[in-house]
Amino acid sequence: MLHISVLRQEVLEMLDPKPGENFIDGTCGAAGHARDILERLGTGGRLMCFDLDEAALDAAAKKMSGDERVIFINDNFKNLATAVALHNFSPVHGILLDLGFSSDQLEASQRGFSFQKNEPLDMRLNPKQELTAREIVNQWDGRALEKIFQEYGEERRARFISEAIIRFRQIKPIMTTGELVAAIAAATPAKAQHAKLHFATRIFQALRIAVNDELNNLATALPAAQEVLAPGGRLAVISFHSLEDRIVKNFFRAQARTGHGQLLTKKPRGPSLAEVKANPRSRSAKLRAFKKSFSLS
């Protein structure tokens, strides 16, 4: 499936990139937003593109091949301050963090992000890291599994599902997404198995967040982004579930209360009905934006 970047016009409206400015795309992915921003920066602007997924970054680099205005960084966006200093990339006028996953990552990575394909149970964005979803599912105890399913997946049947996983893995290790879905199904009532939201969605979300430490990385990245932004610079974040959105909302509100800037979105911006119809995956997207103060006096 072709990846479609969400809220493209809304992102450009909130970030308002201008010729000659410097921007950071903290989650470059399929480079949809990156190319939109770069087009606005003109010949004198620069763009720093981060992605922890090396394959995704390589694909983005090919799409912008030969453009000397772009610096590609294979690292987590939580480390953006280090990269900005290393490359003397300042002033920074705008930063985008799109916390979603591209269609390529979900469907073509062979790393088990999706329950719709039977793939190895991996879920690492960075294949060099040691922790995998397979390790969590097969080695963590029941309480630890229940905790991440509750906290990261907001799953009401967390205890029953963790118990089912332990029963299944005692027979044989759970090595694939298909085997994990079977274990989840064993703890899910028949009616819930036919609900609009797939019964494995929250468990897969929880495992992906745990494997990649996504919430802690976001909580680290937000103050780093605020710090490197030039006065008047803008930070926009697209989240796709309530846990991410809560972190962003609370950070932006705290910054506004202490006079470090102003909210550009008092309530999150979502996709239009037309966008949802064209791209159903956009339906849960929420965009929040913040503008750094020119003065803290």
**For residue 100, is pLDDT > 60?**
yes
Average pLDDT of span 89-102: 92
Q: pLDDT value at position 297?
A: 43
Mean pLDDT of 71-96: 96
> Domain containing 155: what range?
110-212
DSSP string, 175-214: -BHHHHHHHHHHTS-TTGGGSSS-TTHHHHHHHHHHHHTH
Residue 225 has pLDDT above 60, yes or no: yes
Please write the tens of the pLDDT for every residue from 171-200: 999 999 999 999 999 999 999 888 888 999
When divided into structural domains, the chain yields a total of 2
CATH number at residue 234: 3.40.50.150
Closest Cα partner for 169 from 205, 194, 193, 142?
A: 142
| Whether 221 contacts 78, CB under 8 Å | yes
* pTM (predicted TM-score): 0.91
Residue 128 pLDDT greater than 80, yes or no: yes
99 and 119 part of one domain: no
Predicted local distance difference test score (pLDDT) of residue 104: 61
- Joined together, the tokens standing for residue 60 give 């983005």
Query: 179 and 118 share a domain?
Result: yes
Q: Which two tokens stand for residue 27?
A: 């989650």
In the predicted model, is pLDDT for residue 106 greater than 70? no
| Residue-level pLDDT at 1 | 45
End-to-end CA distance of the chain: 50
266 versus 295: the higher-pLDDT residue is: 266
Helix (H) or strand (E) holding 243: helix 242-257
